[in-house]
Structure 1
Amino acid sequence: MGKGFSSTSNNGSSSIIRKVLLSYLYVSIWIFLSFTVIVFNKYILDRKMYDWPYPISLTMIHMGFCSTLAFLLVRVFKLVEPIGMSREMYMSSVVPIGALYSLSLWLSNSAYIYLSVSFIQMLKALMPVAVYSISVLMKREGFKSETMVNMVCISVGVAIAAYGEALFNMWGVILQLGAVAFEATRLVLIQILLTSKGISLNPITSLYYVAPCCFLFLSIPWTIVEYPTLRATSSFNFDFVVFGTNSACAFALNLAVFLLIGKTSALTMNVAGVVKDWLLIAFSWSVIKDRVTTINLLGYGLAFLAVCYYNHCKLQALKAKEAQKKSVEQDEEVGRLLEHAGDRDEDLHGRKLDAQA
């Protein structure tokens, strides 16, 4: 009996260790791919590196590549089943999300022309502030003074980091803040337009429905802003190796997001994102030779601590919600057992009365 208990205990420990190791693997894959895409995009768009400052074109290449690959996987190879979506549902739900996604990608890629990788990551710390503020405005979340204090701390930290930025560029900051605002709105709308209606999209079906929409939206500003310049640059030769590899990394990143959230949680991704940001800051300082000042680090350190506290509060709230759910389920189970016992007692009482009669 002792051996059996020991064997069960060892199996349980092995299962936990395996689960933890897999979680670390998923986090590592996502961090690596996210890191690669960010640095790769910076390399292509920066005038001091590859010198191809056409963010709309780069984003369209990504969307065209992802659309094609998603179509092949869904329609040709049938590896993923498309969901039943009416034209009305597509126009009312997917199109607004696609429009916001295209704007977010366009502006965030444009910021790489004007700002350093390290400073962009510092500005991205404002994402929880934007998501919470938009959620409150759209009445998806209630206003809480303690949460708002936390949001103010994040904002102050980012403001200090911006004050200490050696190569501050107002236009680049406006572009990145716009990207954060559009991305936050997209995330909230996904909850309103898709999740609340029971529609769940994995990365392949997301790209299958959203990427073509993004491509079409981006083609409008591309025709006006970048196409005339590209047409005049007759000496430019499309580098299939560089842009093909870059697009493949972008597609793989979408799959990694699904893998990470599906096997762990969105909260794990938020925590991993903080680790990724510090790695990118260290990389941009040591390898790309971006200038990172002491004030930069102090400001981002404050924002970092506030984001960590925000994630901690979210984790505690999720645990409390899960405990409440389990408590309700246990109460319902006890109620069913008592009801069953009561029916059985009534049945026995009825039999006794029949026997006495």
Structure 2
Amino acid sequence: MAVKQGQTTSVLPAQSPSEKPDASTSDDPPYLEVAGVIAFNFFSSTGIVSANKLVFQGGFGFAVTLTFIHFVCTTLGLLLLARLGVFTPKRLDIRKAFKLAVAGTGFVVFSNLSLKHNSIGFYQVMKHMTVVGVVIIEALVFRKFLSTTFLGALATMCVGVLITGATDFRLNAVGTLFALANILCTSFYQIWCGSLQKSLEANPLQLQLYIAPLSALSIIPVLPIFDNYSPYSPDSIFHFAPTTRNVSSILLTGALALCVNVSIFLLIGKTSAVTYNVVGNGKTAFLFCVDFLIFRRPFEPANVFGMALTLAGVVWYTQLKLKARAEAEKAEKSSAS
């Protein structure tokens, strides 16, 4: 995703996983195929976060330029997949797609900037605050209110994030501002993405084929604002010393960005809503472990408790959401019959 977001700040969010029923049928795909799809999504989604962090720590500190590279790689990859017949492109209203592309650009740019300036643990818990952002925006802008049943889960998430942030060893004002900006952009992106897919009747890959190149174009004017493009500065991108290792790492993140988009599409199509959300929660737990084991995050009990509380809130919210969706579908079937 380009990188997501998470939700992890996927790269680009796909359509809701609720479209496929949870009950097993005789037409279910083979277990090995499902396992392969789950593994593909899990390792590409967690891999891109870790790979981006390594690129930043390796000396390439140009987060917005890296985002631009991700969008270019995603565009080229989607064109190749369309050529191979993986999906069929669809002509869409470019004006509607451009609005989503701008929001998507903001969400991916601020996601990478948040990852650059924050620890993986704080980056990940702040990504989950997108749920709260969506709830607030829908209430204030669209007058759509969430049931009080979900308030306990949301409160648990918020308390967990506050504890994690207050005890984070890399807490800083710049990183926090980028994380908050990421929540705002991602919230609007997810709201518009869901409504636009329905109105255009397009699947995620068809929509992304428009969004990725438009996002790449819209990000060009802001490159000199966030990254150093001054030819006279020793820290500018023009003085970055490319090596086989760091160029390969950058291109790897671009390939992973494409893999994340494709794997989300495959996971939604091959499994159920429960599987999709369980895998998502598993990715969060895994990234917490990566932060401690690979990036040497200091072990502090209060900080670990904050992360665990956030994850517990996410799991609680997910279960309530799935239950509410199942009840709504059951009621809809009953009224139809």
Structures share fold, TM-score greater than 0.5: yes
Cα gap change, 1:213 to 1:251, in 2 (>3 Å):
same
Residue 225 of structure 1 and its aligned partner are, at CA, apart by: 4.0
Q: Which amino acid aligns with 1:214?
A: S
Cα gap change, 1:32 to 1:296, in 2 (>3 Å):
same
Structure with the higher helix share, 1 or 2: 1
Count of residue pairs brought into register by the alignment = 309
Matched, 1:316 2:323: yes
Q: Which amino acid aligns with 1:290?
A: R
Aligned to 1:90: 94
Q: After alignment, is 32-41 or 288-297 more displaced?
A: 288-297
Match of 1:190 among 183, 193, 197: 193
Match of 2:41 among 30, 36, 43: 30
Match of 2:254 among 247, 254, 260: 247
Aligned to 1:3: none
Cα gap change, 1:225 to 1:173, in 2 (>3 Å):
closer
Matched, 1:169 2:172: yes
Residue 298 of structure 1 and its aligned partner are, at CA, apart by: 1.3
Q: Deviations over 1:80-110 (max 9, x none)?
A: 322132xxx221x211111111111111111
Matched, 1:40 2:57: no
Cα distance in 2 for residues equivalent to 1:137 and 1:267:
30
Cα gap change, 1:302 to 1:201, in 2 (>3 Å):
same
Q: Deviations over 1:272-315 (max 9, x none)?
A: 22111111111221222112421112122222222211111111
Q: Which amino acid aligns with 2:40?
A: I
Q: Deviation above 6 Å: which 4+ runs of structure 1?
A: none
TM-score (norm 2): 0.82
Q: Deviations over 1:219-257 (max 9, x none)?
A: 011134432254541644585422222211111111001
Aligned to 1:233: 239
Unpaired runs of 5+ in structure 2? Answer: 1-23
Residue 217 of structure 1 and its aligned partner are, at CA, apart by: 1.4
Do the aligned partners of 2:158 and 2:310 also contact (CA within 8 Å) in 1?
Answer: yes
Cα gap change, 1:209 to 1:166, in 2 (>3 Å):
same
Do the aligned partners of 1:163 and 1:295 also contact (CA within 8 Å) in 2?
Answer: no
Unpaired runs of 5+ in structure 1? Answer: 1-12, 331-357
**Highest relative contact order (Cα 8 Å, sep 6+), 1 or 2?**
2
Cα distance in 1 for residues equivalent to 2:284 and 2:26:
31
Do the aligned partners of 2:273 and 2:322 also contact (CA within 8 Å) in 1?
Answer: no
Cα distance in 2 for residues equivalent to 1:230 and 1:266:
45
Structure 1 residue matching 2:129: 3-state secondary structure? helix
Cα distance in 2 for residues equivalent to 1:79 and 1:306:
37
Cα distance in 1 for residues equivalent to 2:316 and 2:106:
30
Do the aligned partners of 1:134 and 1:188 also contact (CA within 8 Å) in 2?
Answer: no
Aligned to 2:208: 207
Cα gap change, 1:71 to 1:161, in 2 (>3 Å):
same
Aligned to 2:264: 257
Match of 1:125 among 123, 128, 139: 128
Do the aligned partners of 2:197 and 2:204 also contact (CA within 8 Å) in 1?
Answer: no
Structure 2 residue matching 1:34: 3-state secondary structure? helix
Matched, 1:57 2:65: yes
Match of 1:300 among 290, 299, 307: 307
Cα distance in 2 for residues equivalent to 1:125 and 1:273:
11
Match of 2:286 among 279, 287, 293: 279
Matched, 1:69 2:77: yes
Do the aligned partners of 1:165 and 1:292 also contact (CA within 8 Å) in 2?
Answer: no
Q: Which amino acid aligns with 2:94?
A: Y
Aligned to 1:110: 113
Aligned to 1:218: 219
Match of 1:269 among 241, 252, 276: 276
Cα distance in 2 for residues equivalent to 1:223 and 1:166:
30
Matched, 1:157 2:160: yes
Cα distance in 2 for residues equivalent to 1:82 and 1:179:
29
Q: After alignment, is 32-41 or 131-140 more displaced?
A: 131-140
Larger radius of gyration: 1
Q: Which amino acid aligns with 2:289?
A: A
Cα distance in 1 for residues equivalent to 2:25 and 2:321:
29
Q: Deviations over 1:106-158 (max 9, x none)?
A: 11111222211122112222122122222333437434233234322211111
